[in-house]
Amino acid sequence: MIRVGTRGSKLALAQSGMIADEIARLTGEQVELVEIKTTGDGTTVPVAQLGVGVFVNQLRDALEREEIDIAVHSYKDLPTAQPEHLVIAVPPRADPRDVLIASDGRTLSDLGPGARIGTGSPRRIAQLNALGRGFECVPIRGNIDTRIGRVGDDLDGVILAAAGIKRIGRQAEITEYLDPLVMLPAPAQGALAVECRKADMTSARISSKLNDRYAQAAVAAERALLQRLEAGCSAPVAALADVAEGASPDEVDLYLRGAVGAEDGSVIERLSTTAALPDTGDAGAADMAARAAAVGRALAEDLLEAGAEQLLKLDPALDDC
């Protein structure tokens, strides 16, 4: 029996169920989902006020106590500092974009000044305000169903991650997929982290079979940028990396975009970079990810030189989720 730890939300169970099914397919073993309540569950307090690792710590504690063999996280919830005794695999990434769900099937261009858009994300708020459209950003928490339920009631629309909407089967309600040129997503958005103890060789081998080296490299670049900026998920930082086959069979091309903004939208610093990474197959996945991370750190340095440091509130208490 392989025990997979998960949060108990509808989205978390859907994500972890996908991983459990894949593990069962790969191994032929029985897989049990073990629900674990985290600090971030069941509260409407803004994430930035809850502190570090609110959706992660209890799952990691269960791993360390050997109550579970594998933990499944939304990767963007993880602190950027990775414990050395735990190892992560990254399955193929889902759609990283943000989406709008608005009343009457409207898009952002259909919404006029004063339209009330639900989001508690400083990143999304900064980019919405930067459009200069006069939207009113309304802080919200709660699960996806709760947020969507407010559309047409006290909100004109909500902005959510495409991956989460699709994983719970509500994609038919999406009224617009937001172009990253308009709304650059959060680092690691749409990616899952399958985490296990490094010393547990059986679980480590299982998780490695789930790993997608392109997704791993993309997430490594985005999170390295985030870490170098000393910012967490509560900061108005965005990043998106695309990894595609390169000009030769033994390399891939990495295209990384990053942005840091003032929450009022008055300033948005956006930069991008490209790099060629060596691709020697799954055996070289760790090296590819390390080189992608170096690209992320370099772009973060460029953002800092462009003025990003002045746009970030570098409160150590809010460094990570």
Least confident of 76-80, 176-180, 255-259: 76-80
Residues 149 and 200 occupy one common structural domain: no
Cα–Cα distance for residue pair 237/259, rounded to 1 Å: 6
Mean pLDDT to the nearest integer, 220-225: 98
In a domain, 317, yes or no: no
pLDDT digits (tens, 9 = 90+) for 21-56: 999 999 999 999 999 986 555 545 444 444 445 679
pLDDT value at residue 313: 60
Residues 56 and 199 in one domain: yes
List pLDDT tens digits, range 132-149.
999 999 999 889 999 999
User: Which residues belong to the active site?
Assistant: 77
Tell me which residue has tokens 């930035």.
48
Q: Are residues 79 and 55 in the same domain?
A: yes
pLDDT at 231: 75
Where in the sequence is the domain holding 252, given as residue range(s)?
A: 212-312
**Is 185 within the bounds of a domain?**
no
The alpha-carbon radius of gyration of the chain (Å, integer) is 19
Looking at the structure, do residues 260 and 294 belong to the same domain, yes or no?
A: yes
Distance between first and last Cα of the chain? 31
319 lies in some domain: no
Q: How confident is the model at residue 172 (pLDDT cuts 50, 70, 90)?
A: very high
| Claim to verify: residue 275 and residue 232 sit in the same structural domain | yes
pLDDT bucket at 78, cuts 50 / 70 / 90: very high
Total structural domains in the chain?
A: 3
Specify the pLDDT at position 51: 46
Kindly report, residue by residue over 9-24, the tens digit of the pLDDT: 999 999 999 999 999 9
Residue 147 token pair:
């947020």
Please check whether residues 138 and 148 belong to one and the same domain: yes
Predicted TM-score (pTM) of the model is: 0.91
The pLDDT assigned to 213 comes to 97
Higher pLDDT, 43 or 112: 112
- 228 has a pLDDT exceeding 50: yes
pLDDT of residue 156: 98
Please give the order of strands across the beta sheet that includes 192-197. Answer: 31-35, 2-6, 70-74, 192-197, 86-89
Residue 157 maps to a domain: yes
321 within some domain: no
Could you tell me if residue 294 is inside a domain? yes
